[in-house]
């Protein structure tokens, strides 16, 4: 089968022809239909992600497809079932073996492309804003990187939770995408004096930051008393160093969020979150934005769209089943 694999840290992944073994105990083999890309895939290539599979490995953290075979000990999943999996790796391939207990049924309201783009982006924002920051209706939410894969879902979910949403993104086209997702106020990331612009709006209660760098510090200084700041990634490449004295004098809270860790220490929290998100999607309350869908033989181009920040929302790679 065809797979897109990383052989050395810092080098471009390469297409390979590999043999997939039968699914092991507790595993299912999935005929992959779509794989959602994430900024974490780029971090894996660069050797900067917190989880590092042994080389060589197949990239692609979240997949959607059809169960083709089951390994020993698997119950409740049948051949032909439509499932989505957050696997951490293995998605940029025609087939993959994944833990059966990580598979979620894909509802009839979702196609494969949407299912492959859904879990990480929406799950991260839902847990960050609801479970961690306890965002309340009427509060003012600032989303940094508001047109990206996770940022756009934060705009959408924040608005759904009743917040007044400020979107920070680069350029009018990306800001228009954030506005369509529900943002009430738009700020170009190139604008000077972000702190002043935020204070002119009355400050912010919650900051959702997928970018890092100077914008986080400006938002920190514009936070209202008892504000909460959620760093969920550092796509800008710079990890902010947070001065504790500012947290003290304004009674601020910085809240970390790594969505994937919930699989290990609180899986029920993750399952409950995804169940609610799936219900919202079925009710038409969520409208996933996928800006690019490319075939597997153009996976390198798909990753380049992420690295250049050309894409808005999600980028999805599909497998040819003709």
**Residue whose token pair is 């783009």:** 117
What whole-number distance in Å separates Cα of residue 24 and Cα of residue 181? 42
What whole-number distance in Å separates Cα of residue 13 and Cα of residue 45? 8
pLDDT at 252: 97
Mean pLDDT of 218-226: 96
What whole-number distance in Å separates Cα of residue 208 and Cα of residue 129? 8
Is 143 in a helix, a strand, or coil? strand
Contact 197, 220 (CB under 8 A): no
Mean pLDDT of 171-190: 97
Mean pLDDT of 284-307: 95
For the entire predicted model, the pTM comes to 0.92
What whole-number distance in Å separates Cα of residue 174 and Cα of residue 17? 38
Largest CA distance in the chain: 62
**Residue whose token pair is 């900067």:** 48
pLDDT at 322: 52
| Tens digits of residue pLDDT in 49-102 | 888 899 999 999 999 999 999 999 999 899 999 999 998 999 999 999 999 999
Residue 38, classified by CB atoms within 10 Å of its CB into exposed (0-12), middle (13-18) or buried (19+), is buried
- Across the chain, mean pLDDT equals 94
| Tens digits of residue pLDDT in 131-166 | 999 999 999 999 999 999 999 999 999 999 999 999
Q: What topology is assigned to 122-260 in CATH?
A: Quinone Oxidoreductase; Chain A, domain 1 (3.90.180)
| Adjacency order of strands within the sheet including 2-6 | 14-17, 2-6, 57-58
Q: Do domains 2-118+288-318 and 122-260 have the same CATH topology?
A: yes
DSSP per-residue codes, 23-77: P-TTEEEEEEEEEE--HHHHHHHHT-SS--PPSSEE--SEEEEEEEEE-TT--S-
pLDDT at 321: 62
pLDDT at 234: 83
**2-118+288-318 has CATH 3.40.640.10 classification:** no
- Neighbouring residues of 280: CB distance < 8 A, sequence distance ≥ 6: 160, 286
Please give the backbone phi and psi of residue 204, each rounded to the nearest 5 degrees, phi first. Answer: -130, 150
| Tens digits of residue pLDDT in 229-280 | 999 988 777 788 899 999 999 999 999 999 988 988 998 999 899 999 999 9
Domain boundaries, the chain: 2-118+288-318, 122-260
Q: Is the per-residue pLDDT at 320 higher than 80?
A: no
Mean pLDDT of 216-221: 95
pLDDT at 264: 87
């Amino acid at each position: 089968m065809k797979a897109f694999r990383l052989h050395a840290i810092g080098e471009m992944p390469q297409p390979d022809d590999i043999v997939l073994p039968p699914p092991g105990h507790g595993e299912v083999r999935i005929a992959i239909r779509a794989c959602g890309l994430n900024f974490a895939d780029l971090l894996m290539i660069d050797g900067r992600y917190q989880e590092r599979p042994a080389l060589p490995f197949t990239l692609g953290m979240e997949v959607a497809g059809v169960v083709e075979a089951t390994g020993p000990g698997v119950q409740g999943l049948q051949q032909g079932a439509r499932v989505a999996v957050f696997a951490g790796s293995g998605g940029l391939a025609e087939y993959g073996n994944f833990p059966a207990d990580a598979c979620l049924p894909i509802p009839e309201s979702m196609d494969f492309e949407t299912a492959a783009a859904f879990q990480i982006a929406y799950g991260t924002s839902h847990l960050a804003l609801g479970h961690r920051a306890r965002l309340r209706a009427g509060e003012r939410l600032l989303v940094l990187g508001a047109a990206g894969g996770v940022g756009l879902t934060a705009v959408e979910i924040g608005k759904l939770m009743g917040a007044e949403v400020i979107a920070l993104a680069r350029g009018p086209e990306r800001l228009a995408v954030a506005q369509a997702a529900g943002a009430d106020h738009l700020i170009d990331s190139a604008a000077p004096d972000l702190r002043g612009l935020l204070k002119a709006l009355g400050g912010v209660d919650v900051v959702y930051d997928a970018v890092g760098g100077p914008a986080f510090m400006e938002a920190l200084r514009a936070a209202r008393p008892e504000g909460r700041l959620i760093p969920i990634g550092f796509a800008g490449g710079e990890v902010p160093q947070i001065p504790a004295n500012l947290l003290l004098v304004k009674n601020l809270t910085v809240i970390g969020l790594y969505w994937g860790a919930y699989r290990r220490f609180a899986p029920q929290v993750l399952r409950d979150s995804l169940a609610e998100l799936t219900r919202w999607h079925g009710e038409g309350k969520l409208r996933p934005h996928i800006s690019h869908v490319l075939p597997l033989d153009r996976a390198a181009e798909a990753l380049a769209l992420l690295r250049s920040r050309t894409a808005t929302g999600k980028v999805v790679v599909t497998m040819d089943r003709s």
